[in-house]
């Protein structure tokens, strides 16, 4: 019987990798985590929000221990033009209920905390080394990794190295995503006092807001903007599909500067100091781009498995990553105990995933990313329509006012009533 250096190797210490390491180490398995960053979270980026339900399954007391930001109690969605912003806001007690709540987070401290939990459970860590390739035996079964010129073996390798994963293609021959299925994310963290955050975002002490934008923030291209309130900073950024960036005459860093200087954003960030700037690849394709995530001797979790949902009004990824990391570790431990780490021996991971909210939610909304990619009116026409409609509603200039329908119909006719109905029907079917 072949001897291995470790029971499990985890590649990457983001949410999925660190949770997988913690769960496996807690089950008594020998675990090695290889993280290419200088520390956990060094290479990670998030808009900044985690839904608590999945994390609570792993760490029941995480709210008293983890470095969280603000509890999100205000949801805002905006249609933005160059000089106007139409915003829908919702706040309610249900957003703060346990099991349904969410928090803003910064990846660097949060991922360090996750890594500390994994190390305390017994996982070993190597930082600052990139995994170059998967090690395979004569039958093409994954038996570990090659990193830093050395081959390290394990009974199961869990690939959790992020959205731009080259290892997932080596593991299960997953096809590379298309340009319209991946996006570039760019973010700044802007330091701001808690008092300023609470007054500017109209939040109570310790509470915060999640604010999503479409329209001029990405110059009418497929994507959007975001602002999340942390304890003493703001996470502000943009996400634009690679296909649209390639066609745009405005580079994404200029889009970000214009977004910060927009009349509706500038007052929010006035006097704030930039303390972090980062960029990252983001998966946008949803369920239809999820690769085969079970292989001979290996499993794929988190962003490496393209587990991300952008529904326009909500962006989810961290809860999917946490849950997939937990299930990957459980399946790996079960397979090791049964002495069968083949693809069929690891099939429990797929069974767990398919039965969970992870794949069921992705499947429910599988049409949305592709509908949104072709819905150009959402990013150009409808923000302008909203501006015209509300300008006509709220403008008083001394001229005799026309009936409401006569004021609104010219703008609606420019878009086309049939187009409006078609888009509404398509959106409802996709969601």
- Taking alpha carbons only, the member of 178, 218, 163 closest to residue 370 is 178
Domain assignment present for residue 186? The answer is: yes
Q: Specify whether 241 is located in the same domain as 186.
A: yes
Q: Specify whether 135 is located in the same domain as 265.
A: no
Q: Which residues neighbour 35 within 8 Å (Cβ) at sequence distance 6 or greater?
A: 12, 13, 17, 42, 43, 115, 125, 126, 127, 128
pLDDT reported for residue 1: 61
Q: Specify whether 41 is located in the same domain as 139.
A: yes
Biggest distance spanned by C-alpha atoms of the chain: 90
Domain assignment present for residue 346? The answer is: yes
Q: Specify whether 10 is located in the same domain as 35.
A: yes
- Here the tokens at position 409 are 């119909």
* CATH number for the domain harbouring residue 204: 3.30.9.90
Strands 31-35 and 124-127: parallel
Looking at the structure of the chain, the number of domains it has is: 3
Task: Supply φ then ψ for residue 347, to 5 degrees.
Answer: -65, -15
Domain assignment present for residue 75? The answer is: no
Tell me which residue range forms the domain holding 391. 371-430
Read off the pTM: 0.93
158 and 8 Cβ atoms separated by less than 8 Å: yes
Q: Specify whether 188 is located in the same domain as 254.
A: yes
Q: Specify whether 211 is located in the same domain as 278.
A: yes
Q: Over the range 386-415, which residues count as b (16 or more CB within 10 Å of their CB) and which as e? A: bbbbeebeeeeeeeeeeeeeebbeebeeeb
Q: Specify whether 322 is located in the same domain as 350.
A: yes
Q: Specify whether 196 is located in the same domain as 110.
A: no
Per-residue pLDDT of the chain (431 residues; tens, 9 = 90+): 689 999 999 999 999 999 999 999 999 999 999 999 887 877 776 668 999 999 999 999 999 999 999 999 999 999 999 999 999 999 988 898 888 899 999 988 999 999 999 999 999 999 999 999 999 999 999 999 999 889 999 999 999 998 888 899 899 887 888 888 899 999 999 999 999 999 999 999 999 999 999 999 999 999 999 999 999 999 999 999 999 888 889 999 999 999 999 999 999 999 999 999 988 888 888 999 999 999 999 999 999 999 999 888 888 999 999 999 999 999 999 999 999 999 999 999 999 999 999 999 999 999 988 888 878 888 899 999 999 999 988 988 898 888 888 888 888 888 888 888 888 888 888 87
Please list the residues that pair with 214 across neighbouring strands. 79
Domain assignment present for residue 87? The answer is: no
Q: Specify whether 128 is located in the same domain as 214.
A: no
Q: Specify whether 349 is located in the same domain as 393.
A: no
């Amino acid at each position: 019987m072949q001897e291995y250096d470790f029971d499990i190797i985890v590649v990457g210490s983001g949410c999925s990798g660190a949770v997988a390491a913690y769960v496996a180490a807690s089950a008594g398995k020998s675990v090695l985590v290889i993280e290419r960053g200088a520390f956990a979270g060094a290479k990670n980026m998030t808009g900044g929000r985690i839904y608590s339900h999945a994390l609570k399954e792993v760490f029941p007391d995480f709210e008293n221990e983890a470095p969280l930001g603000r509890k999100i109690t205000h949801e805002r969605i905006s249609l933005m033009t160059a000089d106007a912003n139409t915003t829908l806001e919702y706040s309610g007690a249900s957003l703060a209920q346990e099991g349904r709540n969410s928090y803003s987070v910064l990846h660097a401290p949060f991922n360090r905390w996750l890594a500390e939990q994994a190390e305390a459970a017994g996982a070993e860590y190597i930082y600052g080394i990139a995994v170059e390739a998967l090690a395979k035996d004569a039958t093409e079964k994954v038996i570990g990794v090659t990193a830093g010129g050395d081959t390290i073996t394990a009974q199961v390798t869990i690939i959790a190295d992020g959205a731009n994963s080259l290892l997932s293609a080596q593991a299960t021959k997953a096809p590379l995503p298309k340009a319209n299925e991946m996006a570039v994310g760019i973010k700044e963290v802007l330091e701001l006092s808690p008092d300023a955050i609470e007054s500017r975002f109209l939040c109570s002490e310790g509470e915060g807001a999640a604010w999503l934008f479409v329209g001029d923030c990405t110059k009418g291209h497929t994507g959007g903007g975001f602002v999340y309130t942390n304890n003493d900073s703001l996470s502000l950024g943009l996400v634009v599909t690679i296909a649209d960036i390639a066609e745009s005459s405005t580079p994404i860093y200029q889009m970000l500067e214009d977004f910060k200087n927009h009349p509706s954003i500038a007052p929010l960030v006035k006097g704030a100091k930039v303390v972090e700037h980062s960029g990252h690849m983001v998966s946008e394709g949803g369920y239809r781009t999820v690769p085969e995530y079970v292989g001979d001797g290996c499993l794929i979790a988190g962003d490496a498995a393209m587990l991300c949902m952008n529904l326009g009004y909500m962006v989810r990824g961290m809860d999917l990553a946490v849950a997939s990391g937990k299930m990957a570790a459980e399946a790996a431990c079960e397979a090791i105990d049964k002495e069968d780490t083949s693809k069929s021996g690891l099939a429990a991971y797929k069974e767990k995933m398919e039965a969970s909210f992870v794949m069921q939610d992705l499947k429910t909304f599988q049409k949305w990313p592709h509908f949104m990619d072709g819905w150009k009116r959402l990013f150009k026409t409808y923000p302008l329509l909203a501006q015209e409609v509300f300008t006509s509603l709220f403008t008083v200039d001394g001229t005799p006012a026309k009936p409401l329908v006569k004021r609104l119909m010219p703008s609606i006719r420019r878009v086309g009533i049939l187009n409006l109905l078609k888009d509404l029907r398509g959106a409802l079917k996709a969601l």
